[in-house]
Amino acid sequence: MINFDFIDRSETIATAAYVCWHCEDPTCAQVCPADAIKKGEDGVVMSALKPRCIGCSNCVLACPFGIPKIFPEQELMMKCDMCYDRTSIGKRPMCATVCPSQALAYVRKEDIASRREKPSNVFHFGNQTITTQVYIMTPPGTDSVTLDITEHIWEKPHA
């Protein structure tokens, strides 16, 4: 499954990656009424199990990162599973393989420890704190990322 969307196809070739962050306590699985989203022993949060998923899109609405995608014609949710077919046999996930600037990279922790920016995996969405298994590089001195989505989407009432 390709987890990329074009932002504005007519104006730019820029894409937005919907790479799953593989939360320690995945919100998508927490809200799943059909018990279809599972986390493997290796911490990878898998796509919905086909026989269980009922296509209710609870996970789509609940995920703070906006990762799960619903396919209504299949009544199935699919999401990034870290290219499980590749990573389970030691290959890198496809997105990290093709990214020319290595903005998406699949590397060992010690390999990036020497860099100035530091990896962090704690996100604050309002009152919800999420620890993920995928890291984001943050400026030195920051140990967590706070995102207030409502602040961005809030429209000021017209005066």
Partner 1 sequence: MPENCNKASSDTEPLWRDEFSISRAHERYVSRRQLAKFLTLGSLGMFAGNAWILVRSWFRKPQSYQAAVVAKAGEIPVGGVKLFQYPRQGEQCIMVRTSEESYVAYSQKCTHLSCAVFYAREKNRLECPCHQGYFSITDGSVLQGPPTRPLPRVVLERRGDELIAIKMEPEA
The footprint of partner 1 (CB under 8 A) covers 25-26, 29-30, 35, 37-41, 46
Evaluate whether 133 touches 43 at the Cβ level (below 8 Å).
yes
Residue 38: CB minimum distance to partner 1, A: 5
CB of 41 to partner 1, least distance (A): 5
Q: Which is nearer to partner 1, 37 or 95 (CB)?
A: 37
CB of 63 to partner 1, least distance (A): 14
User: Alpha-carbon distance 155 to 60, whole Å?
Assistant: 23
| Residue among 30 and 129 whose Cβ is closer to partner 1 | 30
SS3 track for the chain:
CCCEEECCCCCCCCEEECCCCCECCCHHHHHCCCCCCCECCCCCECCCCCCCCCCCCHHHHHCCCCCCEEECCCCEEECCCCCHHHHCCCCCCHHHHHCCCCCCCCCCHHHHCCCCCEEEEEEEECCEEEEEEEEEEECCCCCCEEECHHHHHCCCCCC
CB of 156 to partner 1, least distance (A): 39
Name the residue nearer to partner 1 (CB basis): 29 or 94. 29
Instruction: Supply the minimum distance, in Å, between the C-beta of residue 25 and partner 1.
Output: 8
60 vs 104, beta carbon nearer partner 1: 60
Q: For residues 20 and 96, which CB has a smaller minimum distance to partner 1 in the complex?
A: 20
